Structure 1
Amino acid sequence: MLKQILSVLVAMSLTVTAACAKAENEQPITLTFVSTYDGKEAELIKARAKAFEQENPGVKVNFVEVAFGSASNYVKTAMLGDQALDGFRSDNSWVPEFVELGLLHPIDGLISPENAADFNPTALASVTIGEKLYGLPTVMEAPALLYNKRLLQENGYAAPPQTMDELMAMAKKMTAGGRYGLYVSDDSYFALPYVWAFGGDTMTDDRNSHIASAESVQGLAFMRTLRESGVTQPYPDFADGYNRMMSDFKEGKSAMIVNGPWAVSDLLTGAEFKDAGNLGIAAVPAGPGGQGSPAGGHSLVVSKYSKHPDATYKLIQYLTNAETQTSQAKELKTLPSRLSVYEDSALASDSIVQGFKEVLESAKPRPRISEGAQMFGDFSANLGPMLLGRLTPQEAANNIDAAWRVLLKLDR
């Protein structure tokens, strides 16, 4: 009899334990996600998160909105300070540093082979560090040569320039009557295609600086020659440079600029591009040493300190799935990171999306080192003075190289 009573008590205990465990597992959870989205893109992502919550009733998503420029420091401070944070939108260039600091949860054990195969390989490579995957790419970016088709046609050109020599010649011909051929920016991100066109380089994955090489200096010198030839913007400095570049192009004051897919929504509000078909997109022209634009973009990542890594992965998988990326591309003209999205019938005939897709074919990854995100500060600080004639191309390159050698802790 005693044995039977004990058996009943044990069974009751196991039942209660199982019920408690089930109740605990079914407790609703809230995922804290740091967002750097803004405008229409933020609205779209929030709507997709609401759809995710409906499909996963036990999960709520709490967005913490942070300006892009301060997001990297915000995330590092939050996680190192034990604040609740499950996932966030990261610029791809930040990922190596976050990995080095031990802040990201690797997801190569969570993603299926079929899912991984649908992402652009270059996009996945950008967030793969030490053979481990740390993010799901949400959009891709690569600067292109954007041109006004009408202005080119009026000057006798049926196609954009294919080489740097052609770029110079076409810019000269289209500089007349208060209009100029090409805007040259002092933002060093837009200088990389010129450096690579002449066979130069910046930093490499093996932590070497090549900016002061003869080839790199040649690329910088070509940018300077464009400005000295009078085919670029007539302004005496680069004050409010990005906005000037955009407004001049939208108003037809310039024929060509170098910019990325993020600029398209704004450009289509301009008088010249009310007809989106007038916006031409091509790879930045090749030079004697090659061709390429920096492959950038953003990825969604999981915090190493998340208490719910599986649920957070499920969220970022949802926010980067084909349905989400198709909506982003159609509504915002962003460049998908998933290969299958380009097969959508509407996008397959979209000249803007397909134009940028071709640019990606010659895109190059930026250095996957923890200091990679910091390289542009010293580069831009010397690029502007060089373009304005205050430094020679060699002096500018030497200054950048010296700063990078300190940054990379290289022996002089």
Structure 2
Amino acid sequence: MRRQLALLGIIAVFLGLVSCSNPGSNETPVTLTFWTTTSSPETAFFQERIAVFEKEHPNIKVRMARHEFPFATNEFKTAVLGDQKVDVFRADNTWIPEYVNLDIISPLNTLAPSKDLSGFIDSALNATTYHGNVYGFPSVMEVPALLYNKRMLEEAGFTQPPQTMDELLKMAKALTGKGRYGIYVTEDSYFAMPYLWAFGGGMITDQGQIQIASDQSRQAFAFMLKLRRAGVTQPYTDFSNWYATMMDDFTRGRSAMIINGPWAIHDVLKGTEFKNPDNIGIAPIPRGPVGQGSPIGGHSLVINKYTSHPKESYELIRFLTSTETEVVQSQEFKTLPTQKAAYTDPRLSSDLLVQGFRTQLDVAKTQPKIPESSKLFMDFTPNLNAMLLEKESIDQGVRKIESSWRSLLKVK
């Protein structure tokens, strides 16, 4: 009851003040606590932006604390439910449904002016929307795309990357040989989602319907296995240290194509094949017979529902997701901006890497919007491994995944 009364008071204060906010006014100074899950360089970037924010908002001071990503979500839940002081949190988008069910973050669309929401990329804002409400301002987006070696494709006679899954197989065959192979196919189930959507399959709907054992999903796994059996993927007997191996093969010219996200570009450009950055191509993951898609992920800034400073917290997340912040952040870290205007900004409009991933956003899809979303991959990946290595059949694999998810979701 105490929290409910406090919340009503907070919302009333917020609604009364947000429309007349004046950074230069003589309002009572407040200190916000902002928890971030960024890397050390990104944390330093946020600190620089916060310094600018504090100059523009002299009545607001921000105390930032960095938390390790794997543990941050439990620490945030414990803090909020235990009445510890934390106002703003940088959350993985897959954590948002659970926070909503726990009633610990504020719905922003009921507080924010519509103009503040309309500036975001639609798919980015959709990723933070749950049951019709927006619960986070997207700070950075992540969407895997097809990365390819332009030189290799041109030498093989191809003028553009594959547009369909059939073309992917055909081109991978042509690109395999002489100490190299066409495409790396990983056991990581996150990177299997584009194949699922291409063939009309899926994981779990937002309504909790399990799709992993559907005929369409089976066709997707069969295609991944077909790539392996055709000998156009990595020639290794297992997936040991797969990410480092995939990146090393691609950057050294042993593979022509991989599926990866913008977070990988910094390391890709260090490779011998991409000393000239113009050699890296970025394209949407090929469409299949039924559809096309790639999982949009990322991190958003959420507000503790029980903060004593909702107005100031909102000002902070609006500033840290502004077009200016997004552009500078992208320039420094090659991240995907969440603001539409950032892509037409002169500083990014000619950036082929950023613009390349922008095309993938048009067909990006959200991961299952359920509280258990982040736990789905724990059984998905090991069974995908077994299917691709033919240690179990596709039928056995999908049934095992389905069974574990039924148990997780408590579905009979």
Normalised by the length of structure 1, the TM-score is: 0.91
Q: CA deviation at 1:240?
A: 1.3
Q: Where does structure 1 differ by over 3 angstroms across 4 or more consecutive aligned residues?
A: 25-28
How do residues 226-245 of structure 1 correspond to structure 2 at under 5 angstroms? Answer: 226-245=227-246
- Distance of 2:31 and 2:240 partners within structure 1: 44
Bigger radius of gyration among the two: 1
Which residue number in structure 2 is paired with residue 195 of structure 1?
Answer: 196
**Partner Cα distance (1:291, 1:355) in 2:** 17
Deviates more, 1:138-147 or 1:186-195: 138-147
Q: Name the residue aligned to 1:327.
A: 328
SS of the counterpart of 2:331? helix
- How far the C-alpha of 1:117 sits from its partner, in A, is 1.0
Moved more, 35-44 or 210-219: 35-44
Shift of 1:361: 0.9
Instruction: Tell me if 1:347 matches 2:342.
Output: no
Amino acid corresponding to residue 99 of structure 2 in structure 1: F
Name the CA distance, whole Å, in 2 between partners of 1:79 and 1:397.
Answer: 38
CA deviations over 1:346-386 (Å, ceiling 9, x no partner): 31221111111111111111221111222111111211111
How far apart are residue 39 of structure 1 and its match? 4.1
Mapped partners of 1:27, 1:238: distance in 2? 57
Structure 1 position 301, deviation (Å) = 0.5
Question: Which residue matches 1:272?
Answer: 273
Match of 1:256 in 2: 257
Tell me which residue corresponds to 2:282.
Answer: 281
1:71 to 2:78 alignment: no
Which amino acid is 1:256 matched to?
M
Deviation, 1:132, is 2.0
SS at match of 1:345: coil
C-alpha RMSD of the superposition: 1.4
Deviation at 1:181, TM superposition (A): 1.2
What letter corresponds to residue 191 of structure 1 in structure 2?
Answer: A
Look up the SS of the partner of 1:347 in the other structure.
coil
Q: Secondary structure at the match of 2:235?
A: coil
The SS at the match of 2:376 is helix
The question of whether the paired residues in 2 share the 8 Å contact of 1:36 and 1:68 is answered with yes
Structure 1 CA distance for aligned equivalents of residues 289 and 344 of structure 2? 34
**1:45-66 Cα shifts (integer Å, max 9, x gaps):** 1110111112122222222212
Identify the residue that residue 299 of structure 1 maps to in structure 2: 300
| Partner Cα distance (2:68, 2:409) in 1 | 28
Whether the aligned pair in 1 keeps the contact of 2:206 and 2:370 (CA below 8 Å) is yes
Offset at residue 138 of structure 1 (A): 1.2
3-state SS of 2:386 partner = helix
The alpha-carbon deviation at position 330 of structure 1 amounts to 1.7
Q: Can you list the C-alpha shifts for 1:24-83, whole angstroms capped at 9, x where unaligned? A: x85532211111111432222111011111212222222221222222122112222322
Kept after mapping to 1: 8 A contact 2:367/2:373? yes
Q: What is the TM-score of this pair, normalised by structure 2?
A: 0.91
Aligned residues between the structures: 387
Q: Where in structure 2 are there 5+ consecutive unaligned residues?
A: 1-25
- Counterparts of 2:173 and 2:379, CA distance in 1: 31
* Equivalent AA in structure 2 for residue 211 of structure 1: I
AA aligned opposite 1:368? K
Where 2:356 maps in the other structure, the secondary structure is helix
- 8 Å contact from structure 1 (residues 85, 305) kept in 2: no
Paired position in structure 2 for 1:181: 182
Aligned to 1:8: none
How far apart are the structure 2 equivalents of 1:346 and 1:64? 30
Counterpart secondary structure, 2:154: helix
**1:105 to partner: Cα distance:** 1.5
Q: In the alignment, what sits opposite 1:170? A: 171
Match in the other structure for 2:113: 112
State the shift of 1:206 in Å: 1.0
